Chain A
Amino acid sequence: MVSAVFHSPTQAMLDAKSGVKPVGVAPAEAKPVQPAAPAPAAKPSYDWPALGMKVFPPLIGVALLIGIWALLTMKSTTFPTPAATFAEAIKVFSDPFYSKGPNDQGIGWNILFSLERVALGFGMAALVGIPLGFMIGRFEVLNRMVSPLISLLRPVSPLAWLPIGLLVFKAANPAAIWTIFICSIWPMIINTAVGVQRVPIDYLNVARVLNLSEWKVITRILFPAVLPYMLTGVRLSVSTAWLVIVAAEMLTGGVGIGFWVWDEWNNLNVQHILIAIFVIGVVGLLLEQMLVSVAKRFTYDEV
C-alpha cells in the first residue's frame, strides 16, 4: 500500500520542482532518472557506480521524506497527503499566469513579483553596498567610523525596518523593497571591505613600484582581487533577500509568493502552502546555484 503512494509523490515532488518553468506533467515512469541520463550517452565507459552514488542517495532521501509524510497523514483530515498535494500542484501549475483581480493571480505572477522586489532591493543594495565596502576597506578612518554602526545594525531583523519603510514611502511595495535593501546590504559591505583589506600586500607593492594611477589600481588590482569576496557577499545577500521577501510580503500584502502563502492560510488551503514552500525552496536553490556558477567563473588560482 505504501509503495503505491510512494511513486506518485516522488513524481509530484519533481514536477513541483520543474514547475518553476511551467511544463506539462510527464506521466512516464522513467522520468525521475532522466536528469542524470544525458552524460552516459556521451561517454560509453561511464563510471556507473559513481553515477549511482550521485543519483540514488538523494532520490532515497526525497522518497523517505515523502514516505514519512504519507505515513503521518494517512489518517489526518486537516493535513493533506502527498497524493492530494500532487494533484493540487498539477492544477496550480497548469495555469500559472492567470489573473483574476489583484488578490487572485497565478503562482507564476506571484513568483515574478517577488523576484522583481528582490531584484530591485538587492540591486540598489549592491549599488550602494559594494562601493561603500570598497571605501571602508581602503580608508581606515572610514572603517573605524562605520564599523560600530554596522555591528549595531546588522543583527537587527530586517523586518524591524519595515515600519520605517512604510512611514517613509507611505506604500507597501516600496517598503518591502526597502526591507530587502537593508537585509542584503550588510553582507555585501562587509565582504567587500574584508576583501579589500585582504588584498595581498605584494600586489599593492607592485602597484606602488609601477606607480599605477588610482584608477588602474582599482580596475587592475583591487577589483579582481576583491571579486571573489564580493561575490560571496552577493550570494549571501541574495539568499537572505529571498528569505526575507516571503516574510515581508506576508506583512505588506500585494502580489507575491509570501502574500500567496498568507492568503492560502486564510483560505485554509494547506496544499497550496505546501506547494509554495517547495517553490520558494526551488527558486532559492536556483538563485544560489546561479551565483555559485558566476563566482566559479571569476575565481582565479592563487599562485
Chain B
Amino acid sequence: MNNFIEVQHADMVFSTRKGRFHALRDINLTVAKGEFVTLIGHSGCGKSTLLNLIAGLTTPTGGTLLCDNREIAAPGPERAVVFQNHSLLPWLTCIENVQLAVERVFGAKEGKAQLVARAKAALALVGMDHALSKRPHEISGGMKQRVGIARALAMEPKVLLLDEPFGALDALTRAHLQDELLKIVARTQSTTVMVTHDVDEAVLLSDRIVMMTNGPAATIGEVLTVELERPRNRVELAEDSRYVHCRKEVLDFLYTRHGRIDKQAA
C-alpha cells in the first residue's frame, strides 16, 4: 500500500490569549492513494485542526506532514478543501466561483473556452448545471455545498479534504449528497479525508474510520477498517451485520470509552 499522505508525530499547540492550548498530540496517520478516510470525534477534539494541517492552512508545532513524499508547507490546489460553511464568494455566480479555482490550476495551459467547459463539467458532476449564473444567496444550503464540492473537484486535486461538508444540512439532503459523493469519489478515484461527527456517514463512506480521543491534547484513539464492498447502498446496508458491527464499534468508542468529559470540566 503506498502511503500518499503521511502524518508523522504531528503536534499542534495554539498560543491563545488565555495561554497555550495543546490541541493535538503525537498524531500518526497514513492515507493510501484512492482511500477514503474519515476523522470522527466529539466536537473540540481537534479533527478540523488535523484536516487544516493536511490542507496546509495551519502549520504543525511539531512533527511532519507529507503528501506524495513532499512536505506540506502551505495550502495548494492539489489538496482541495470543501469547507464546512461552503465559503462561496457571495459576489460571484456559481460558475464564477468554480472558474476562480479552474483558472488558477489550468489557466496557464488552456484557453478560455476550455476553462469554462471544465467549470461547467464540475458543476454538472454535482448536478448543479441548472444554476450556473445564480449567486450563492439565491440557492439552498445543499446546493451551495454542491457548488463548494464542484469548486474542489474542478481543480482535479490529488486529495479531497472535506470539513464536515454536510453538517449544516437537513437529514434528507445530507443522505442525498452522501450518495452523490460516493459516486463522485468512485468515478474520480480521489484520495479523500473527511471530518464528520455523524457515525452513519462515517461508516457508509469510509474505507477507514479514524476515531479521535477527547481534547485537549487529542490523539488518534483507534482506527477501524470498514470491510464493505463498493458500491454501497444505504438501504441494503442498514441490516447488514458488518455495517451494524462497524456502527456499534464507533458508537462504543465515542460514547462508552471516550464519552464527552468536557461537561464536568465546564
Contacts and interface: CB of A to CB of B under 8 A. Distances in A.
Interface of A: 200, 202-203, 205-206, 208-213, 216, 220-221, 224-225, 300-303
Contacts of B89: 203, 206, 220-221, 224
B137 A301 contact: yes
A216 B75 contact: no
A299 B88 CA distance: 16
A303 B77 contact: no
A109 to B, nearest CB: 42
A211 B76 contact: yes
Given A205-B57, A205-B81, A300-B137, A210 B104 contact: yes
The 6 closest A-B pairs by CB, nearest first: A301-B137, A202-B87, A224-B91, A303-B136, A208-B75, A300-B90
B90 A202 contact: no
Nearest to B57: A205
Given A202-B85, A216-B100, 15 more contacts: A202-B83, A203-B89, A205-B57, A205-B75, A205-B83, A208-B74, A209-B57, A209-B76, A209-B77, A209-B79, A210-B101, A210-B104, A220-B89, A221-B89, A300-B90
B144 A303 contact: yes
**Main DSSP-derived SS at the B contact region:** loop
B57 A303 contact: no
Query: In which size bucket is the chain B interface?
Result: 20 to 34
B141 to A, nearest CB: 9
A206 B83 contact: yes
Interface in B50-71: 55-57
B80 interface: yes
A202 B88 CA distance: 9
B104 to A, nearest CB: 5
Contacts, number: 62
Interface in B81-102: 81, 83, 85-92, 100-101
Interface of B: 55-57, 74-77, 79-81, 83, 85-92, 100-101, 104, 135-137, 144, 155
Contacts of B137: 300-303
Contact of A210 (B56, B77, B88, B135): B77
Contacts of B55: 209
A249 B168 CA distance: 58
19 contacts: A202-B83, A203-B87, A205-B57, A205-B83, A208-B74, A210-B104, A210-B155, A211-B76, A211-B104, A212-B100, A220-B89, A221-B89, A224-B91, A225-B91, A301-B90, A302-B90, A302-B137, A303-B90, A303-B136
B16 to A, nearest CB: 15
Contacts of A203: 87, 89
Contacts of B79: 209
Nearest to B81: A209
Nearest to B96: A220
A9 B70 CA distance: 81
A208 B58 CA distance: 11
A208 B77 CA distance: 9
Contact of A303 (B81, B88, B100): B88
Contacts of B74: 208
Nearest to A302: B90
A234 to B, nearest CB: 18
Contacts of A213: 104
A93 B104 CA distance: 59
Contacts of B136: 303
A220 B100 CA distance: 9
Nearest to B55: A209
Contacts of B92: 220
A231 to B, nearest CB: 14
> Most chain-B CB neighbours within 10 Å: which of A202, A209, A212, A221?
A209
Contact of A211 (B77, B85, B87, B90): B77
Contacts of A205: 57, 75, 81, 83, 87
